[in-house]
Chain A
Amino acid sequence: MQLEAVAQAMALLRPEVLLVLLLGVVVCQFIVAIPGLGGSFVLVMVFPFAMTMEPFAAIALLIGAAVVSGTGNTVTSVLFGVPGSSMGIASIFDGYPMARRGEASRALSAAFTASAVGGIFGAAVLALLIPVMRPVVLLFGPPEFFALVIVALVFIAVVGTTDSLKALLASGLGFMLAMVGQEPTTAALRFTYGQLYLWDGVGLVPFLIGLFAVAEMMRLFVEKGTISKVSAVTSKGQVLRGFLDVFRHWKATLQSSIVGVLVGIVPGLGGEAAQFLAYSQVARTSPNRKEFGKGAVEGVIAADAATNAKEGGSLIPTLLLGIPGSSGMAILLLMLITVGVQPGKNLLDENLDILWFMVLLLVIASVLATVFCIAAIPFMAKATLVPVASIIAPVMVVSYFGAYATAFSLGDLIVVFLSGTVGFLMVRYGYSRTTLVIGYVLGGLAEYNFLMARRIFGWSFLTRPIVLVLGVVLAVTVLGPAVQSLTRARHARIERRIAVAASASGQLVGD
């Protein structure tokens, strides 16, 4: 069955599909190289174009965009010490010092090659897990899916963010937005306020375009100037050396790839967590540990291999369970559903060829991205010197065109405007847009499964074994940090008392 699906998947890799994949990789790589325009931005921007394509070409475009969205950050991190997004931070640790001592090309080459190896490793793990995950997924019915969605939502908000309350509020708001439109089992209208446009809910594409693209442009408007303030010098002689470094330091590459995949599987732990964990792991076990932070090529390899390996890991819950762990995955999931790919049981039972097709695309896109990135290093470096005004105006125009083109509705333009404003205010006041989007994505899924579970089992669905286990996980996730902070406060109080007592006794001795 699996072999048959692989053969069918390979037959789907037609020349036009590969051409679209290449186009997605090339165009998106340039966009992601510009700091501030992260992976979610790229995914949102390509979506209107993907909607006009046949489904397989659309999937290729989306996977191409998704793969490069992590790699592009490395360019500015290494060349200028400016991370394109939070996922590029660990690449600076050693990449930037390497660039300053004239080894920018070596660092970039090593980073891109490590990214490709990490990406292929992640895809391989995903491929290996497909037959294993099938029986696990089949154990999940509506009650279990409902519980899993709630646990994922709370886990993402509590574990992966600085301010859990704000993240919870954002996910609650996203959840409520998902309730707009027809109720899934009876088609009863909710929160439509007499507007025909809202019958199908808040428009997905305009909502995402506003939240990410328009809001990012407003942020760039406030920042002004050019993205990078210094120009970089790159040399061509060190590319091969950087490429070979990845294989010379194979232990670091493998270690980081494993960490990346594991982090990717856990919802809420993003690319930066993968980078930092892999970097610290390699830094502590490497014989060159004293060189870390001063320009060790292993540091660059660790950060970039983990970042891309995480993508394969993230695809496991996203595609096999329909639970995205990050904004990029949430967007990808929504887009795959829109082009006709239903994740979870359906994908494993009826569309196994499409799942393998995506695994193959992931591998091909990782290789293409590396080859292209290495060839385009000097051009991408120049892209960061473009004044922001020259970026903002075209992106705003394309955003509005793209949002309107998906449904030709004026309501979409209002949604772009409102979600752009809200997205900007969320960034301004420290709310996570990611949890908002994940709440929006999972809200409908949670409601459908809740209503089905109630209809089939009544309230006794809450006593099913997997639901109970997930309930315990939820309780630990919520109560764990609270108990921890109470314990910490108690310890601090005790320490303060000891300090006061010690100083008092010191005074007595002195007297």
Chain B
Amino acid sequence: MANDSVGGSGEGGQEALSSPAFESADVDDIFERASPSAGEDERAVTGTVGGILFLAGIWLVLLLMLMGTADFRPAARVVPRIAAIPSIIVATVLLAKETAALAKRWRSRGAVPAPASVRDEIAAFLWLTAYSIGVFAVGFAIASVGFMLAFLRSYGEQSWRQVILKTVVVVGIIVVVFDGLLGLRVYEGLLFG
């Protein structure tokens, strides 16, 4: 069952192992190229600005939570502190390692160009944000129809016929299953609810 044990499905292993050249390798070669960590999604120090900002965010959240424990009763604050203090220490060590790695990269190669996928990552985040705001504002049904039409048409580059068909089927099934069969009220949004 548990697909991604500790690592999860990662990209590195898939790329390395989907190569046709793979078939001719003998057993030892196979193991050299595909260690058990090949499919994991953790990488060691990345040394990127984004990685450092993300880590700094985690560090800040943990620090604020630790500071927040000052107002708790003794019984309520002991375990959060036991968890927060070592986590902040680990985050600090990681921050130092990431910063050192970034500095080393800058020294050796000058400014590090952002990878080409960053634009796509921002686009993915914007789609998610737009859909979330849409659900809040106008409710599930309207936001989902709008999202599916816009997404399938612009990102999927599908014909209007396909787009409308898929939208009607998906949103229709969901509304019928949740609202009709399961009797669960579908959220109507802040504007119409």
- Is B9 part of the binding interface, using a Cβ–Cβ cutoff of 8 Å? yes
Q: Which one of B39, B90, B94, B171 contacts A89 once the chains associate, using CB atoms below 8 Å? A: B39
Contact B27 A83 (CB under 8 A): no
Contact with A along B1-15 (1 / 0, CB 8 A): 111111111100110
A200-256 residues with Cβ-Cβ distance < 8 A to B are 214, 218, 221-222, 224
Binds B, one of A6-14, A322-330, A499-507: A322-330
Known contacts A165-B93, A221-B127, A451-B79; A85 and B17 CB within 8 A of each other: no
Known contacts A96-B23, A429-B51; A163 and B44 CB within 8 A of each other: yes
Contact A314 B1 (CB under 8 A): yes
Contact A276 B42 (CB under 8 A): no
- Is B100 part of the binding interface, using a Cβ–Cβ cutoff of 8 Å? no
Whole-angstrom CA separation of A428 from B166 in the bound complex = 30
Q: Which one of B31, B79, B87 contacts A172 once the chains associate, using CB atoms below 8 Å? A: B87
Q: What are the residues of chain B within 8 A of A188 when measuring CB–CB?
A: 72-73, 75-76
Chain B nearest CB, measured from A30 CB (Å): 15
Q: What are the residues of chain B within 8 A of A431 when measuring CB–CB?
A: 42
Interface of B is mostly: helix
A131-164 residues with Cβ-Cβ distance < 8 A to B are 156-157, 160-163
Whole-angstrom CA separation of A428 from B10 in the bound complex = 10
Q: Which one of A38, A293, A393 contacts B151 once the chains associate, using CB atoms below 8 Å? A: A393
Interface of A is mostly: helix
Contact B4 A191 (CB under 8 A): no
Q: Which one of B13, B42, B46 contacts A161 once the chains associate, using CB atoms below 8 Å? A: B42
Q: Which chain B residue has the least Cβ–Cβ distance from A32?
A: B3
Chain B nearest CB, measured from A154 CB (Å): 10
Contact A268 B131 (CB under 8 A): no
- Is B160 part of the binding interface, using a Cβ–Cβ cutoff of 8 Å? no
Contact A161 B40 (CB under 8 A): yes
Q: Which one of B19, B50, B75, B147 contacts A451 once the chains associate, using CB atoms below 8 Å? A: B75
Known contacts A80-B18, A168-B90; A218 and B124 CB within 8 A of each other: yes
Whole-angstrom CA separation of A90 from B43 in the bound complex = 21
Q: Give the interface size class of chain B.
A: 35 or more
Q: Which chain A residue has the least Cβ–Cβ distance from B65?
A: A176
Chain A nearest CB, measured from B16 CB (Å): 9
Chain A nearest CB, measured from B53 CB (Å): 9
Q: What are the residues of chain A within 8 A of B156 when measuring CB–CB?
A: 387, 389-390, 393
Chain B nearest CB, measured from A153 CB (Å): 10
Whole-angstrom CA separation of A284 from B28 in the bound complex = 10
Known contacts A172-B87, A188-B73; A393 and B170 CB within 8 A of each other: yes
Chain A nearest CB, measured from B24 CB (Å): 7
Q: Which one of A69, A165, A167 contacts B3 once the chains associate, using CB atoms below 8 Å? A: A69
Chain B nearest CB, measured from A424 CB (Å): 7
- Is A343 part of the binding interface, using a Cβ–Cβ cutoff of 8 Å? no
Whole-angstrom CA separation of A90 from B25 in the bound complex = 13
Q: What are the residues of chain B within 8 A of A325 when measuring CB–CB?
A: 2, 5
Known contacts A163-B42, A188-B75, A424-B124; A417 and B174 CB within 8 A of each other: no
Contact with A along B61-101 (1 / 0, CB 8 A): 11001001100110111111011101100110110010000
Whole-angstrom CA separation of A425 from B61 in the bound complex = 15
Which A residues form the contact surface with B (CB < 8 A)?
32, 35-36, 38-41, 43, 52, 65-67, 69-70, 73, 80-87, 89-90, 92-93, 96-97, 100, 156-157, 160-163, 165-169, 172-173, 175-176, 179, 183, 185-186, 188, 190-191, 214, 218, 221-222, 224, 268-273, 276, 280, 283-284, 289-290, 292-295, 311, 314, 325-329, 332, 387, 389-390, 392-394, 396-398, 400-401, 404-405, 408, 410, 413, 416-417, 420-421, 424-425, 427-435, 443, 446-447, 450-451
Q: Supply 19 A–B pairs (Cβ within 8 Å), ascending by A.
A: A35-B14, A67-B1, A69-B2, A82-B14, A83-B14, A84-B9, A85-B9, A100-B20, A160-B5, A188-B75, A221-B127, A273-B5, A289-B27, A326-B4, A328-B1, A393-B156, A428-B50, A430-B44, A432-B8
